[in-house]
Amino acid sequence: MKKETAVVLFLFTLLFSTAEPASAADNAFGPADAAMTAQQYLQARDLYRQVFVASREGPDAARALLGIAKADYQLKNYYESDINLKRFFKTFKDTARTDEAHLILGLDLMNIHKYKEAEEQLDLVKGEFQEQAIIAKAELAFIQGEADKAEKLLAKTDRKDYESNIRVLYIRAMILSSQGNHEQAIQTINKIPDQELKVENIAVSKAVIYYNARKYIDAKDMLTAIINAPSSRLEAIQAKRTLFQIYDAEYNQDAALKLAIDILSYEPTDDLRLKAVTLFEKKGDPDSAFRYLTYLKNKQTLSDELEKRLKKLQHDKDPKADEYLLKYFIYLSIDNPYVIEAAKYMDEKGYKEQAKRLLQKAARGRNGAEASMILARTLMQEKKFSDAKRLLTPITTDANYSGQASLLLYEIFEYEGNVSAAKEYRARAIRVLETQKDYSRVGDLYVRSGNNAEALKNYVKAAQKGDAISVLKAADLYYLSGKHDTARVYYKKAIDSGIKDPKSLQWADYQYGKLAKNNEYLKKAEGGGGAVSEAAALLRSEK
């Protein structure tokens, strides 16, 4: 189990220094000090504040400000305590209370997980508070996974403290538990009275030690008791978080999910939200799982997790795949490549408007050029040529898509009858696509311009790179030029190259069967239907 880092640190009752001379405000400190000793921290803070306001400067003000910070520390108002201690160091120089202030500031920083700064403060502690700082540094080392360092630091403490100090016993028990010495860990933590466990706010950690020792019932009973009567809100949160981890480890999905939802109401972390999502999925409730995904604060994580689940639904051919995609695609990141994939999927399934919305979104992101290309083709199909041109014109300067964009602009201007513009973009497309070695598209452009010789050269180049359709196109050009023997070879190559389009394959079968006088391939072509099928049947009957 992961080491608990949220343990609240209180070493023992901090002593007040008497090195400074008595002042006129000494009588005012009496009630404040008594309230601190009685653990009436709110009252103590108010009384120290009254003294500070009355003093404003000098040793009384320093003592009062430190008292306010100590009270806030005990109230677990770590940020407020931190602010007042920084004010203390800025205002009061060379005070006898500096060591104690460094100690409290180190503990504050440890509790807000600023471990490096905490250690720096604890290193500054000298004099009577030094041993308390050493114990705090041992706990800090343990929190950061340095158990050996923690043990060495504890070994520096007074022998009596090593055997009886509550914080030392606690840290020793946690170290033993992390090392798998569970019985020793339990014996050590049991030396601390229950009341002191609450005062030190380590009752939850005792339950963790019992859980690590596989004493699950005891651990859950302890945590339930804490939740029912917590000494603080923080302790209740720690207990619920730990109990959730236990339920989750035990595959008690209902109990774990109930606790997760409860904790999320006041500690809404993305880690816990994701655990709730997983629990909903395990319970067969994808609606709630997807809903909780949308609560994630980290938008990139939201997009990634959504993509993972939507892809799985599509792969599994889940009947609700389209429903979830249409409902949640708006949460996909504009930079996510899956946006384009999802848009293509939507378009194929007939969700044209949603596909366009996704592509418009992706056009603003990292893959904007590719998305704009696809969107432009859609707009061209809808005869929205002006909108398509607005998308394509900027892409003609994109190194990766310049050729394709120029090709589409050529098609638009040709359709519109703008001969000069069409000729310009055709020439640009050929130039760029040849540079990019996109020989198949170059061949298409030459065919459309009537230059079959150049088209054939490019189809042959594309065929040599394994493009099956280009092999078929080369075969057609060889056939049209009267080179039937070469055409026959290329039609057979096209068939063997694995043409996926049924109509193209049927045509290759027909042409090869005709030229090779092979009834087997003519029969295959006949099975494809349509005009080619009729022609193949006629050839077979003539034989």
In a domain, 537, yes or no: yes
pLDDT at position 278 is 95
* pTM for this model (two decimals): 0.64
Give the C-alpha separation, 534 to 523, whole Å. Answer: 11
The Cα–Cα gap between 477 and 104 comes to 87
Residue 165 lies in a domain: no
How many residues are present in the chain? 543
pLDDT computed for residue 543 by the predictor = 59
- Does any domain span residue 378? no
Pick from 327, 331, 329: nearest CA to 301: 331
Domain count, the chain: 1
- Domain-located, residue 211: no
Q: Which two tokens stand for residue 278?
A: 């997983």
Successive 10-residue mean pLDDT values, the chain, 543 residues: 36 33 62 93 95 88 94 92 94 87 95 94 94 95 94 91 92 95 96 89 92 93 93 87 91 93 92 95 94 95 95 92 93 91 90 91 90 92 93 89 89 91 88 84 86 90 90 92 93 90 92 91 89 86 68
Instruction: Return the pLDDT at 12.
Output: 27
Give the pLDDT score at 354. 92
Distance CA 290, CA 156 (A): 53
- pLDDT at residue 19, as a whole number: 37
What tokens does 493 get? 């190559």
Give me the pLDDT at residue 26, please.
56
Alpha helix segments (H runs only) across 124-265: 130-143, 147-154, 159-164, 166-178, 182-189, 194-199, 203-212, 216-228, 233-249, 253-264
Per the structure, the complete domain to which residue 474 belongs is given by 468-543
**513 part of a folded domain:** yes
- Give 425's DSSP letter: H
Report, in this order, helix, strand and coil percent for the chain, each rounded to 5. Answer: 75, 0, 25
Residue 449 placed within a domain:
no
* Within a domain: 485: yes
How far is the CA of 514 from the CAs of 469, 487, 493, 536, in angstroms? Answer: 19, 11, 15, 8
Residue 277 lies in a domain: no
